Amino acid sequence: MRPTATYATVLALFSLAVAAMAWSALRPENSPGHALATTTSAAFSDLAAWFRSGPADGQPDWEAAARNVYGADASHGAQLMILHGCGACHTIPGVTGADGSVGPDLGGLADRAYVGGVLPNEPGGLVRWLVNPTTYAPNTAMPDLGVTEAEARDMAAYLFTLRGE
């Protein structure tokens, strides 16, 4: 073996040894795969709970599943709507002080086909709308409120609880 190949091999083995030691020194909750495993586990838990709580006929409610915003907290979403001032323009059932009349009444939002008249009323569409409505409808009266994607997921989870009468 040539000396350069030997040095390259030794350097590669040394690098792998250092990487292995660094990997083994990580605490389990800080490992790169931990976040993925936690998210995947939560999604499967939600899915299992959804199947267990299905309708009496034993058939999955696919429409309700399509509106489920995984990993979101609907009660926090209601609080965020107060924080972002959504009630100044919208009437939102269950949200204190949300009795505005500039924008549409958000009661029954879960039963509508579109969000803002342009995006399909499904979790991804509603979250995108809440984060940046003027991207999808430049002439909308709804301003960009600085809502983060995580906040929008919680807000969407709450809004999908609002069914029509």
> What pLDDT digit, counting tens, does each position of 121-149 carry?
888 899 999 999 999 999 999 999 999 99
Tokens of 18: 């250092």
Q: Please tell me the distance from the alpha carbon of residue 78 to that of residue 87, in angstroms, as a whole number.
A: 10
Q: What is the per-residue pLDDT for 80?
A: 95
Looking at the chain, the whole-number percentage of residues with pLDDT higher than 90 is 42
pTM over the 0.85 mark: no
Q: What is the per-residue pLDDT for 90?
A: 94
Residue 140 bridge partners (DSSP): none
Q: List C-alpha distances in Å: 25 to 15, 21, 29.
A: 15, 6, 12
**Which helix (H) or strand (E) element contains residue 115?**
strand 114-115
**Amino acid at residue number 18:** V
User: Residues 12-36: what's their mean pLDDT?
Assistant: 67
User: Residues 148-162: what's their mean pLDDT?
Assistant: 92
In this predicted structure, which of 56-60, 82-86, 102-106, 149-153 has the lowest mean pLDDT? 56-60
| Extents of the domains making up the chain | 65-159
- The CATH T-level fold of domain 65-159 is Cytochrome Bc1 Complex; Chain D, domain 2 (1.10.760)
Cβ 157 vs Cβ 69: under 8 Å? yes
pLDDT classification of 98: cutoffs 50, 70, 90: very high
